[in-house]
Amino acid sequence: MSADLWNSATHVLDTNWSNDHMVPSRGLYPHQWSWDAAFIAVGLAYVNPTRAWRDLRSLFEAQWPDGRVPHIVFDPRTAEDDYFPGPGFWDVPAYGGRPARGSTGMVQPPLHALAAWEVYRRAASHGVACARAAGDQLAWLYPRLVAQQEYLTGRRDAGGDGLASIVHPWESGLDNSPSWDAALAAVPADPALLQRFRRRDIDKADAAHRPTDVDYARYVGLAVDYRDGEYADVDLAHRHAFVVECPSFNTILAAAELALAHIAAVVGADPGQHRQRAKRITRAISEHLFDPATRTFSSRDVRTRTLSPARCVNGLMPLLLPDLPTGQVEAIMAEAASPRFGLPARTGLPLPSYDRTAPDFDTLRYWRGPVWINVNWLLRRGMLVHGYLDEAEDLRLALIRLVHTAGHFEYYHPRTGAGIGAPTFSWTAALALDLLADRSVPAYARAA
C-alpha cells in the first residue's frame, strides 16, 4: 500500500505543477491558492524540494506592500472566464512590481512559516550543503513571513483582543462552515448578484457538493464590499458586515510564530520575539474563543462579541498549541472522541468537518460535514504535541487508508469514505506523502 500511495501522490503533484507553482487541481482551481501552497510544500519537500521552495517563493513574490499574502495569485495564462471570481472582479492595482489584477485582496491562514520550516528540516537532514542552500531560502522568506504576521496581528486585530479577524468566510479556508452561519445571517443575500456575476464552480462540480446560492450571494456581496472599500482594514467592525475571529486561523497564526522562532535562529534573527507573540496569541485564543459552558472553542463575531453555537472542526485546532491550558487540551480531545466527531477508533474514518449529531449535518456539502485531509493532518500534529501518541497514530493510519482506498480527492464522505469534490487534489497528495514518511512530534512545537 505504501509504495502505491507514494507513487500515486507523486504523480498528482507532477500533474498539477504549472510553470512556477502548483494548482490545487486542474479544472476547478486553475490558479495558485495561499494555504494550499503551504500544505503542498510540506509534501513536495520529500520528492522535489526545489519545487517546494519555488511554490512558496512564487506566492510571496505576490505579497502586498502592507504584508498581506493574497489568497489567490492569478495565472495570467488562464482566461478570465475559466474561474470566478477572477482577476477582473478583484481589480487589484499594480503593486511592488506585480501587474495589475494579479491577485486577490483577501488572505488565508498563514501556514507558510510552518511549511517553510518543514521544508528546511527535510533539506537539512541531507547534509551540510543542502542545509546551507535551504538556509538561503529561509533568509529570503523570513522578512516576508514576518511582514505577513505583522499585518495579521496588527491591521487585522479588529476586536482589539490580540486576535486576527477574517473579513470573509473564504479567508478561513473553511468556506461554508456552519461556524459562520450566525455572523452571515446579518449579511444580505442579494440574488441579483448571481445574475450580475455568474458562479462557475457548479459548471465543473456537483451543485449538491458546493455552497448554496444563498451563501454564494453573501460571499459575492462581502467581496464586492471589501473590494469597493479598496481593501482597507480601518474600522472594520463598524463598516464591514462580516468580521470574525476564527479559532483555526488564529491557532495557525500562533503556530507560525513558533515556526518563525526556529527560522530566526537559522537566519540570525531574534527568536524570542516570536515565542512571546505565540504566547500572547495562545492566551487570547484561550480567553476569548473558549466557551466554558460547552467546553469547546468557537468562532467569535467581532461585531456582536458572541461565540458561534456551531461545533465545527475549527474548534479542535487549538490542540496544535503547546502552551494551551491542560483543561482545554482535555476538552478538545473529549470533543474529538465524542459522537459529535468521533476518532477513528469509533468510526474507522478521520474526523468530519462538522458535528455529526447536528440536524443540519450534510455528508456532501463542502465544509458542512465531509472529511478533509488537511484539518485532520493538523489535528494529528496537535495530538503529537500533547502526547496523545496512540490517537495520533490511529488518525495517521486512518488518513492513509482513506486516501489509498478512495484516491486523492478534495474531500470525502464522512460515512462511506467515498471521494468527493475535485479529483487529483494537490494538498491531499502532498499530505499523504508526509503521513507516510513522518511520525515525529512536530518540530515547530519543540523549544527553539
Look up 410 and say whether it is catalytic. yes
Q: Say what percent of the chain tops pLDDT 70.
A: 97
* pLDDT above 80 for 237: yes
Overall average pLDDT of the 50-60 stretch? 97
| Separation in Å, CA 348 to CA 358, 395, 401 | 20, 9, 10
Residue 168's pLDDT band (cuts 50, 70, 90) = very high
State the residue range of the domain holding 244: 2-445
Which position among 36, 157, 175, 335 bears the catalytic label? Answer: 175
* pLDDT above 80 for 204: no
Look up 118 and say whether it is catalytic. no
Overall average pLDDT of the 353-370 stretch? 97
* pLDDT above 70 for 278: yes
| Separation in Å, CA 328 to CA 126, 190, 300, 313, 386 | 38, 40, 17, 15, 11
Overall average pLDDT of the 84-90 stretch? 93
Overall average pLDDT of the 140-158 stretch? 98
What pLDDT score does 81 carry?
Answer: 85
Overall average pLDDT of the 28-56 stretch? 96
Report how far residue 139's alpha carbon sits from residue 239's, in angstroms, rounded to the nearest whole number: 38
Residue 442's pLDDT band (cuts 50, 70, 90) = low
Q: Between these two residues, 112 and 98, which has the higher pLDDT value?
A: 112
> pTM of the entire structure?
0.96
Q: Are 305 and 183 in contact (CB under 8 A)?
A: no
* CATH code, 424: 1.50.10.10
Which position among 181, 301, 410, 434 bears the catalytic label? Answer: 410
What pLDDT score does 438 carry?
Answer: 78
Overall average pLDDT of the 253-279 stretch? 98
Residue 448's pLDDT band (cuts 50, 70, 90) = very low
Residue 158's pLDDT band (cuts 50, 70, 90) = very high
Please state the domain count of the chain: 1
Overall average pLDDT of the 345-353 stretch? 96
Q: Say what percent of the chain tops pLDDT 90.
A: 85
